Structure 1
């Protein structure tokens, strides 16, 4: 009879096709996974995976075994997770907020991973806006937020960083910077940088576009914008410039806007945030799934 770890290691490795990620998911060492799979292959009498220095993939026999054992494994695992969820009180609905397209795509990937382990939880997502970035969290509209850093709020907990996106500068297409291959933080002093309206912390705005460059040049604040589409529309109209994530350049192509990469600044970072007084088992479980998804995306 097969041992539970043998079946679990086989199914998870068939899903991840990576020994390291499989070990992380099952919280054992990579060597333990390798030894377990080898033991299973000896029981079966033939290889179940093809292993090279570049990839891991199922053999035809491995695909056959997966088709036979996976439905039963999923059924048993789902039953155990439902029992654990009931015992821990993590069933029900769970609202997750996100800021920006990159965070939204990441949230959907995490939800798919989370749902496999916690089918009893109905996860809903809610897009937040810069003008009120923490309000849905504080108002109880969402329990957890995937948002741009930094976050320095005494009533909020900053969890792990889960996403990093290269930083770019959105400029009018006829601006001199649009003809460059890259820009510097010093170039922020060469235009009016949009300010954010609403309940935006000063430290957050300063991080996105400092009031002075590293060499001491003044960065002039231009018009205020409440949303990203509004910001890009005004950039296209020639009213200013704005730092954005590379995901904006990939998904938005407003007329009259050119995106130029920064060469001397770090990426836009996103992290998980929740209320200090509202941490639950649901949040901890979702955070664990987010960390795993972040590692898988690297």
Structure 2
């Protein structure tokens, strides 16, 4: 029996219907019937009992199905492994993320990726707030899902995965906490807790020095960790912009998240090293896009 004939036999043994088997294998019912008749002639016995309403395996058909199924799975697995190896989708893939909501998506995509590429192990890790690009440059991370913009000659900007509205983190007793929304102009009225270690163009967008009308925005303390940002805000040292979804992941009794009504949204995109555009990186990008769409 040829591999295609084995596939037809096993599909019919599962479907027990010539039409459904044909649809599943993208062939005609006549092709299924011809293949089964050929197998029965070669074996010298019926494999299926057909009536106008039903299709059933004969005892010999059951024995053949049980004998072929395990071997067929091994063949399919070997072919899939060879294809994966040929594409270079083996070994390890290290994917980082900057925010908890990005991490949820990365985990779901990694599960989906492993199902299609079982010979590639995906390691998931946090991205350091003050140095998100260092691991890409030294090769300890292959991909990172992070807030944009990033514009570096040695870093590839992949697709934007999702876009989120902004909010302002304020102490719970602050006057802003009583408002339904805040404006970017309001940043001139409170010190801005910010981070260090990011490119200046990134900081200019997320932690601006002036409002759209040109008013200076006072500077509060700086830090290198998000939890420290929240602690400084809670202590009354200033306010800080963030993604509105942070309210669901980093809720605390001593801070409040107030939506911006006029701030540009936060874009989250994939980045990888210009020297790291490998088949497994491209495969994971495709998987992540499929997962995000689903």
Say whether the fold is shared (TM-score over 0.5): yes
Match of 1:291 in 2: 289
Kindly name which structure, 1 or 2, has the bigger radius of gyration based on alpha carbons: 2
**Corresponding residue for 2:233?**
235
Residue 139 of structure 1 aligns with which residue?
A: 138
Q: Which residue is equivalent to 2:154?
A: 155
Distance 2:74 2:192 in 1: 55
Tell me, what secondary structure is at the counterpart of 1:278?
Answer: coil
Offset at residue 254 of structure 1 (A): 2.5
Cα distance, 1:183–1:119 mapped onto 2, change above 3 Å:
same
Counterpart for residue 208 of structure 1: 206
| Correspondence for 1:265 | 263
**Is the CA contact 2:194–2:229 (under 8 Å) kept in the aligned structure 1?**
no
In the alignment, structure 2 segments of 5+ residues that lack a partner are: 12-22, 31-68
C-alpha separation in 2, matches of 1:131 and 1:148: 12
Distance 1:165 1:205 in 2: 18
The 1-side partners of 2:266 and 2:7 are apart by: 45
Partner-residue secondary structure (3-state), 1:131? coil
Once the two structures are TM-superposed, the CA of residue 90 in structure 1 deviates from its matched residue by 1.6
Q: CA deviation at 1:160?
A: 0.4
Cα separation, 2, equivalents of 1:149 and 1:74: 44
Q: TM-score, normalised by structure 2?
A: 0.73
Query: Hey, what's the Cα distance between the residues in 2 that align with 1:280 and 1:83?
Result: 17
Partners in 2 of 1:75 and 1:249 — Cα distance?
49
CA-atom RMSD in angstroms: 2.6
Secondary structure of the residue aligned to 1:249 is: helix
1:279, distance to aligned residue in structure 2 (A): 1.0
TM-score (norm 1): 0.72
| Aligned residue number for residue 179 of structure 1 | 178
Q: Structure 1: which 5+ runs fail to align?
A: 8-35, 44-70
Q: Is the 8 A contact 1:78 1:119 kept in 2?
A: no
Q: Distance in 2 between matches of 1:176 and 1:2?
A: 73
Q: Partners in 2 of 1:104 and 1:92 — Cα distance?
A: 22
Task: Confirm or deny: 8 A CA contact 1:233 1:254 kept in the other structure.
Answer: no
Question: How far off is 1:77 after superposition?
Answer: 6.2
SS in 1 for 2:275: helix
Tell me the matched-pair count. Answer: 236
Say which SS state the counterpart of residue 93 (structure 2) adopts: strand
SS of 2:156's partner is: strand
The 5-angstrom pairing of residues 237-256 of structure 1 reads: 237-256=235-254
User: The residue matched to 2:231 in structure 1 has which SS?
Assistant: helix
> Which residue does 2:33 correspond to in 1?
none
3-state SS of 1:119 partner: coil
